[in-house]
């Protein structure tokens, strides 16, 4: 017996000896877990901070105040649409700096004003032709390089984008109070442009809204109908198993394959117009359907059988049971699944690239068959542009896209919380 | 005009519904009250609306699908002899001009015969539209009259309506099957055309990917090498780097959230990790190309390494960040599904928490975790925008993550967004790559789903 005691004691001593090491290992493991979460969230924070930091300056645009003389010799009421507004802008620049001579110097002076300034003047005088013959002080859009200078993105080093003359003129303009930064309305009211200071997201937003409208109108009814049929009416045989495997696979197919499908069938076989929101909407519908079907089936499964049996007991037909009793109770789950599917379709780029929505479209699309682009594709196109100012425009467009996504996901979470019923 | 027709049909259907309901109420009143009817008045109204709208809608769809072909062939038959004998692509250009003239666009060439053909076209189209309107509305009204005449108390309107709804539901659920068939057919068809020009063994086992084909016979640089191995190794390398980042971070996050975290931390952190999955991939691509790549390049230069600005490392790391929530949420689900009895047994024997997790819970949840990793690999292989914006275009066969490589998805995008004609081997190569991508992701998904199914059977 004493030998057993001795052995028992040594076993418990052994355990005691190892405890410290095991507790340390436990702490290390726990710290690893916390570190993993912290690193992942850190990535998220860095991403958002980077996008916000790059994109917020894009919501302000530098303007120059020029004294514009609406010369009656140039502008007569008949030729108002085609007068030489470029010349008027150039004259206003020269009137501010009368000491500028020589062609090269004058060209550097004109570079401070945006290429769209003549069109702004044209619009003003065409709406109010009583201005002809007067001198007006107008705030016109500054060139993109000047805008970047004012925001500090490019430096004032003499060897940089601006020569010494231009820097001296810019300092004088600032001292005279002729430079100011205003809210960038152009970003929200104009379509794409090759000049960053004139580029906006209205065209891309309209294209996205039109495409998503088609996606919603097509995918919600078809998705709900499929979920209802598969869950309630289909007999459980090999055919329905096959459909179920099929839908699960479709949910995991890469999005670019749907683009190839759209290219091969909708554009080549059916002859639908390339780059139209109609085709974009159809491709996004096919992508969103599996998500809506899977979440719809889960929602229908969660309705307890007692509801169905009660309806059947009162004398309803199977179709009436489903449509009048089960479906309304499963509708919140289906709606949240639809919103999540729509949010995913909003951010998809690759399939839209395949069906041709990658062209440079300046006009705002007005119908489902007009050529259009979408917001994620616009972001992709701008990210490739060489001008420095496009980097901040791209980040600003990303901010708008993320705001939409946050709204949609927040509404899905809110709906889920509000209508969730525990049976 | 034709866009008004569906609206008119809709209005007629509503009128038919109302008429059917009224008539059924009248018939019931004669017979002794609503209780004599087999089906409620709403079903009689619905049946009338269906009789009105369904045949007309079918006619509308079929008519529009075949209208342009029939009108075009009639116009071609009406062209003068010498124009009809043109080779098919020139005839196509001529038809384009006629279409442009009709819709008011700019034409490339104009002549009397083209203007005459354009007028012929517009007159045929207006005749066809007028005919369509008459036929559709005729069928709709005849349908309403027929349905109204058959309304009786004993008529089983509800059964008929429900049968129609059943058929409609069935048709909707075949859309998913047609999608898969469409994907397979469209990709297979074009890929087969590619394999007629390039050997399958060259494609699968060739080591050089340089998809140039000559537009003219004597063009320089027209060697077309279509060996896909460098492209696949690029994809696998970037996917491997992404997994190296995502699996440890995702798994440890899932373990902490499932086992250690207090309730409040879990309800806050889990949605935050889901946000990582909801950010569009184009945003990740922009972040990788404009922020991460210069940082990595500068860091590498300070260490003396030659890092390309489109290195596989950058694309892989950013893709890994995107995949973290996939692995984290899937692993979280399977870890919480492991029965508590297993954990309790382990604690009863004196194991610490980490030992329980490493030796009991994870082995128990391993099939689920493995299937989650497989699904994540499939997502990484099919990911497009991050690699299009952050990875390169030249097919390097290398194991060095600091060099630029290209992937299957990048090649598909570049080949199809470019400017070669659709028939050349260069553009068709994109479909061949797409076919292989589809097959690989399909196999991975099937294996993952099978593993989950077998695991669920084991547990129950």
Question: For residue A263, what are its two tokens?
Answer: 């290219």
CA distances from B32 to A143, B36, B43, B153, B187 (A): 84, 7, 19, 10, 64
B260 and B407 both lie in a single domain: yes
Strand ranges in A4-70 using DSSP code E only, listed in sequence order: 60-69
What is the pLDDT confidence band of residue A172, given thresholds at 50, 70 and 90?
confident
CB contacts, 8 Å: B281 with chain A: 347, 349
pLDDT exceeds 70 at position B214: no
How many contacts (CB atoms, under 8 Å) link A and B? 235
CA A248 to the chain's CA centroid: 28
CB contacts, 8 Å: B158 with chain A: 317
- Show which of B126, B155, B184 is a domain's final residue: B155
CB contacts, 8 Å: B187 with chain A: 257, 260-261, 264
Which range has highest mean pLDDT (A33-37, A260-264, B109-113)? A33-37
B417 reaches A (C-beta below 8 A):
yes
Of B460, B295, B451, the C-alpha closest to B373 is B451
Choose, out of B6, B100, B169, B350, the residue to mutate when testing the contact with A (most A CBs < 10 Å). Answer: B169
- Using CB atoms and an 8 Å cut-off, which of residues 149-188 of chain B contact chain A? 158, 162, 165-166, 168-170, 172-173, 175-177, 179-180, 182-183, 185-187
How many domains, chain B?
A: 2
- The answer to whether the CB of B191 falls within 8 A of the CB of B428 is yes
pLDDT exceeds 80 at position A9: no
pLDDT exceeds 60 at position B220: no
Contact B416 A263 (CB under 8 A): yes
B136 and B233 both lie in a single domain: no
B236 and B139 both lie in a single domain: no
What is the pLDDT confidence band of residue B347, given thresholds at 50, 70 and 90?
very high
- Using CB atoms and an 8 Å cut-off, which of residues 79-138 of chain B contact chain A? none
When computed from its CA atoms, the radius of gyration of chain B, rounded to whole angstroms, is 32
Contact B256 A34 (CB under 8 A): yes
CB contacts, 8 Å: B354 with chain A: 25-26, 29-30
CA distances from A207 to A201, A213, A400, B285, B448 (A): 10, 10, 15, 22, 37
- The answer to whether the CB of B172 falls within 8 A of the CB of B96 is no
- The answer to whether the CB of B453 falls within 8 A of the CB of B394 is no
- More confident site: B103 or A133: A133
B150 and B69 both lie in a single domain: yes
B151 and B245 both lie in a single domain: no
* pLDDT, tens digit (0-9, with 9 covering 90-100), for B357-398: 999 999 988 988 999 999 999 999 999 999 988 887 777 888
Domain ranges of chain A: 63-184, 202-419
Contact A348 B280 (CB under 8 A): yes
What is the pLDDT confidence band of residue A422, given thresholds at 50, 70 and 90?
low
Contact A347 B383 (CB under 8 A): no
In a domain, B228, yes or no: yes
* pLDDT, tens digit (0-9, with 9 covering 90-100), for A369-396: 888 899 999 999 998 887 888 888 999 9
User: If you measure CA to CA, which chain A residue comes closest to B288?
Assistant: A47
What is the pLDDT confidence band of residue A8, given thresholds at 50, 70 and 90?
low
B276 and B150 both lie in a single domain: no
What is the per-residue pLDDT for B221?
Answer: 53
What is the pLDDT confidence band of residue B399, given thresholds at 50, 70 and 90?
confident
* pLDDT, tens digit (0-9, with 9 covering 90-100), for A178-222: 888 888 888 898 888 888 888 889 999 999 999 999 999 999 999
Question: For residue B257, what are its two tokens?
Answer: 């959230």
What is the pLDDT confidence band of residue B29, given thresholds at 50, 70 and 90?
confident
B35 reaches A (C-beta below 8 A):
no
What is the per-residue pLDDT for A370?
Answer: 86
| Rounded Cα–Cα distance for residues A267 and A265 (Å) | 6
Of B247, B258, B255, the C-alpha closest to B358 is B255
In a domain, B166, yes or no: no
* pLDDT, tens digit (0-9, with 9 covering 90-100), for A293-319: 999 999 999 899 999 999 999 999 999
B141 and B237 both lie in a single domain: no
What is the per-residue pLDDT for A12?
Answer: 83
* pLDDT, tens digit (0-9, with 9 covering 90-100), for A90-119: 888 888 888 888 888 888 888 888 888 888
**What is chain B's mean pLDDT, rounded?**
85
- The answer to whether the CB of B20 falls within 8 A of the CB of B51 is no
| Rounded Cα–Cα distance for residues A235 and A250 (Å) | 22
Helix extents (H) in B340-424: 340-348, 353-356, 362-382, 385-390, 408-417
| Rounded Cα–Cα distance for residues A92 and B153 (Å) | 86
| Rounded Cα–Cα distance for residues B430 and A263 (Å) | 12
B136 and B247 both lie in a single domain: no
What is the per-residue pLDDT for B457?
Answer: 66
- The answer to whether the CB of A227 falls within 8 A of the CB of A290 is no
What is the per-residue pLDDT for B305?
Answer: 82
- Show which of B130, B155, B180 is a domain's final residue: B155
Of A284, A262, A231, A236, the C-alpha closest to A355 is A262
- Where residue B355 sits, what CATH number does that domain have? 1.10.3720.10
**What is chain A's mean pLDDT, rounded?**
87
Q: Which of B175, B384, B431 sits opposite A222 (nearest CB)?
A: B175
Rounded-to-5 percentages of helix, strand, coil across chain B:
80, 0, 20
B275 and B401 both lie in a single domain: yes
- The CATH code that applies to domain A202-419 is 1.10.3720.10
Give mean pLDDT, residues B158-174. 90
Bridge partners for A139 per DSSP: A65
Q: Which residues contact A308 (CB under 8 A, 6 or more apart)?
A: A321, A325, A326
pLDDT exceeds 80 at position B21: yes
Give mean pLDDT, residues B232-240. 92
Of B182, B248, B237, B33, the C-alpha closest to A258 is B182
What is the pLDDT confidence band of residue A415, given thresholds at 50, 70 and 90?
confident
Which value does ipTM take for this structure? 0.88
pLDDT exceeds 70 at position B460: no
What is the per-residue pLDDT for A398?
Answer: 94
- Show which of B118, B135, B155 is a domain's final residue: B155
Residues of chain A with pLDDT > 70, as a percent, come to 97
Residues of chain A with pLDDT > 90, as a percent, come to 35
Of B147, B137, B191, B123, the C-alpha closest to B48 is B147
Bridge partners for A63 per DSSP: A141, A180
User: If you measure CA to CA, which chain B residue comes closest to A356?
Assistant: B417
CB contacts, 8 Å: B283 with chain A: 47, 51, 347, 379, 398, 401-402
What is the pLDDT confidence band of residue B438, given thresholds at 50, 70 and 90?
very high
Of B434, B391, B366, the C-alpha closest to B192 is B434
Which range has highest mean pLDDT (B53-67, B345-359, B405-419)? B345-359
Q: Domain of B24?
A: 4-155
B279 reaches A (C-beta below 8 A):
yes
Bridge partners for A137 per DSSP: A67
Residue with the two structure tokens 């949420």:
B329
B118 and B262 both lie in a single domain: no
| b/e per residue B261-289 (b: at least 16 CB within 10 A) | beeeeeeebbeebebbebbbbbbbbbbbb
In a domain, B315, yes or no: yes
- The answer to whether the CB of A351 falls within 8 A of the CB of A287 is yes
| Rounded Cα–Cα distance for residues A119 and A117 (Å) | 5
Q: Which residues contact A209 (CB under 8 A, 6 or more apart)?
A: none
Which SS3 state, helix, strand or coil, does residue A373 take? coil
Which SS3 state, helix, strand or coil, does residue A179 take? strand
In a domain, B188, yes or no: no
What is the per-residue pLDDT for A52?
Answer: 93
What is the per-residue pLDDT for A288?
Answer: 93
What is the pLDDT confidence band of residue A238, given thresholds at 50, 70 and 90?
confident
Question: For residue B371, what are its two tokens?
Answer: 């299937």
B284 and B399 both lie in a single domain: yes
pLDDT exceeds 70 at position B458: no
B294 and B149 both lie in a single domain: no
């Amino acid at each position: 017996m004493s030998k057993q005691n001795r052995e028992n004691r040594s076993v418990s001593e052994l355990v005691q000896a190892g405890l410290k090491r095991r507790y340390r290992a436990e702490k290390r493991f726990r710290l690893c877990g916390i570190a993993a979460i912290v690193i992942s969230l850190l990535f998220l924070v860095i991403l958002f901070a980077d996008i916000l930091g790059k994109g917020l300056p894009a919501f302000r645009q530098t303007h120059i105040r020029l004294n514009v003389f609406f010369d009656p010799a140039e502008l007569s009421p008949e030729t108002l649409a085609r007068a030489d507004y470029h010349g008027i802008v150039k004259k206003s620049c020269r009137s501010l700096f009368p000491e500028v001579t020589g062609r090269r110097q004058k060209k550097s002076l004109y570079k401070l004003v945006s290429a769209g300034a003549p069109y702004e003047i044209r619009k003003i005088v065409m709406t109010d032709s009583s201005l002809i013959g007067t001198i007006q002080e107008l705030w016109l859009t500054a060139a993109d390089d000047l805008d970047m200078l004012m925001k500090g993105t490019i430096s004032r080093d003499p060897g940089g984008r601006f020569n010494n003359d231009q820097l001296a003129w810019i300092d004088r303009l600032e001292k005279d109070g002729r430079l100011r930064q205003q809210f960038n309305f152009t970003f929200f009211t104009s379509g794409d442009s090759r000049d960053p200071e004139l580029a906006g997201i209205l065209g891309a937003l309209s294209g996205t809204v039109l495409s998503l409208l088609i996606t919603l109108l097509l995918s919600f009814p078809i998705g709900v109908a499929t979920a209802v049929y598969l869950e309630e009416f289909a007999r459980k045989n090999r055919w329905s198993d096959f459909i179920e495997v099929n839908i699960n696979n479709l949910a995991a197919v890469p999005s670019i394959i749907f683009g190839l499908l759209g290219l091969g069938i909708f554009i080549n076989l059916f002859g639908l117009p390339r780059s139209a929101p109609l085709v974009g909407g159809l491709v996004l519908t096919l992508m969103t359907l599996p998500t809506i079907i899977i979440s719809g089936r889960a929602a229908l499964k969660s309705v307890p059988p007692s509801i169905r049996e009660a309806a059947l007991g009162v004398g309803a037909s199977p179709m009436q049971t489903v449509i009048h009793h089960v479906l309304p109770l499963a509708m919140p789950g289906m709606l949240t699944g639809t919103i999540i599917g729509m949010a995913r379709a909003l951010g998809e780029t690759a399939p839209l690239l395949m069906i041709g929505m990658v062209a440079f479209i300046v006009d705002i699309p007005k119908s489902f068959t007009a050529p259009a682009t979408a917001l994620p594709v616009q972001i992709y196109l701008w990210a490739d542009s060489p001008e420095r100012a496009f980097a901040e425009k791209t980040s600003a467009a990303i901010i708008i896209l993320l705001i939409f996504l946050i709204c949609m996901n927040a509404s899905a979470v809110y709906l889920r919380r509000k209508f969730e019923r525990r049976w | 005009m034709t866009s008004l027709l569906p609206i008119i049909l809709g209005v007629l259907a509503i009128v038919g519904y109302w008429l059917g309901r009224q008539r059924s109420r009248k018939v019931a009143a004669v017979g002794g009250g609503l209780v004599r009817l087999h089906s409620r008045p709403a079903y009689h109204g619905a049946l009338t609306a269906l009789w009105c709208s369904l045949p007309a809608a079918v006619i509308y769809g079929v008519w529009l699908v075949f209208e342009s072909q029939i009108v075009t062939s009639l116009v071609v038959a009406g062209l003068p002899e010498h124009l009809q004998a043109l080779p098919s692509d020139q005839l196509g250009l001529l038809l384009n001009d006629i279409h442009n003239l009709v819709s008011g666009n700019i034409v490339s060439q104009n002549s009397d015969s083209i203007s005459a053909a354009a007028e012929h076209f517009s007159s045929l189209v207006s005749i066809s539209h007028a005919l369509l309107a008459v036929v559709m509305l005729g069928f709709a009204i005849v349908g309403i009259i027929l349905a109204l005449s058959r309304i009786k108390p004993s008529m089983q309107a509800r059964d008929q309506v429900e049968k129609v709804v059943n058929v409609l539901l069935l048709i909707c659920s075949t859309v998913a099957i047609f999608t898969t068939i469409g994907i397979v057919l469209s990709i297979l068809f074009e890929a087969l055309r590619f394999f007629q020009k390039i050997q399958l063994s060259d494609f699968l086992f060739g080591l050089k990917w340089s998809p140039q084909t000559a537009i003219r016979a004597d063009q320089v640089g027209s060697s077309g090498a279509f060996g896909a191995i460098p492209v696949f190794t690029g994809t696998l390398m970037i996917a491997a780097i992404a997994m190296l980042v995502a699996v440890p971070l995702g798994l440890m996050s899932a373990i902490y959230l499932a086992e250690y975290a207090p309730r409040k931390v879990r309800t806050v952190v889990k949605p935050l990790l889901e946000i990582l999955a909801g950010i569009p991939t184009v945003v990740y691509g922009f972040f990788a190309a404009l922020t991460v790549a210069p940082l990595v390049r500068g860091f590498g230069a300070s260490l003396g390494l030659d890092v390309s600005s489109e290195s596989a490392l950058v694309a892989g790391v950013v893709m890994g960040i995107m995949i973290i929530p996939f692995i984290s949420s899937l692993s979280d689900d399977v870890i919480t599904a492991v029965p508590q009895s297993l954990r309790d047994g382990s604690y009863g024997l004196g194991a610490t928490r980490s030992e329980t997790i490493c030796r009991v819970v994870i082995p128990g949840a391993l099939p689920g975790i493995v299937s989650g990793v497989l699904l994540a690999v499939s997502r990484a292989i099919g990911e497009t925008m991050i690699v299009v914006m952050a990875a390169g275009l030249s097919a390097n066969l290398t194991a060095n993550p600091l060099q630029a490589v290209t992937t299957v998805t990048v090649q598909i995008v570049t080949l199809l967004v470019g400017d070669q004609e659709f028939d050349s081997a260069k553009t068709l190569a994109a479909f061949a790559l797409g076919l292989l991508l589809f097959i690989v992701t399909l196999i991975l998904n099937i294996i993952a789903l099978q593993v989950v199914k077998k695991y669920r059977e084991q547990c129950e």
